[in-house]
A and B are shown apart, each in its own frame.
Chain A
Amino acid sequence: SQQGEEDPQALSIQEGENATMNCSYKTSINNLQWYRQNSGRGLVHLILIRSNEREKHSGRLRVTLDTSKKSSSLLITASRAADTASYFCATAGNYQLIWGAGTKLIIKP
């Protein structure tokens, strides 16, 4: 079953601006992961945050996790045209990832 829900469903911003996407989930998790999917391509793992972590950085990516609210956010700073893609959150329980519907991010030049 799908438990992650991202919002917004779509986001269009100017190059250079920051993009924030949110993910909510329903059950307890071991970790939460974010993936990127370019149109028609496979999914690429971006970052993983464990249930006992609150914030994590990787390059221009910043992920937060609030287990009390069962939510996470992905921030992409200084966006670039190449960041145009769909972004999915996935929660990890017992060896199966449960996926959200994704946020489609468009970076306008």
Chain B
Amino acid sequence: EPEVTQTPSHQVTQMGQEVILRCVPISNHLYFYWYRQILGQKVEFLVSFYNNEISEKSEIFDDQFSVERPDGSNFTLKIRSTKLEDSAMYFCASSDWTSHTGELFFGEGSRLTVL
């Protein structure tokens, strides 16, 4: 069964460093998302991406964040200068929405620890 894959599964970084989280969405999906979940808290929407551009973003997704689809398969989230409060699980998801079902397929997440 097709799945969304994320790398790395866990990254530890020093405050102020740049981090890139990578995702390979399901190949025929059109919409891509990044979500964040601070330990024990809600799933928070960061950004959605369609047709090579951001379609929506939340207030969390400030200038420190950027997304890119550098080739036909990868979808990346970059945090330019990490802060302690960026420590969280970051989930990538994709959907096709062509049938308007809205079901999202999630990866297993990348745990980011900022020291």
Contacts and interface: CB of A to CB of B under 8 A. Distances in A.
A41 B56 contact: no
B106 A42 contact: yes
Contact of B105 (A40, A45, A88, A96): A45
A17 to B, nearest CB: 25
Main secondary structure, interface of A, reads strand
A42 B109 contact: yes
Interface band, chain A = 20 to 34
Q: Which of A48, A96, A100 has the most chain B CB within a 10 Å cutoff?
A: A96
Interface band, chain B = 20 to 34
Given A2-B42, A42-B91, A96 B106 contact: no
Contact of A99 (B42, B48, B97, B100): B42
B2 interface: no
Given A30-B102, A48-B103, A92-B102, A99 B108 contact: no
Interface of B: 4, 31, 41-45, 48, 50, 55-56, 89, 91, 93, 97, 100-109
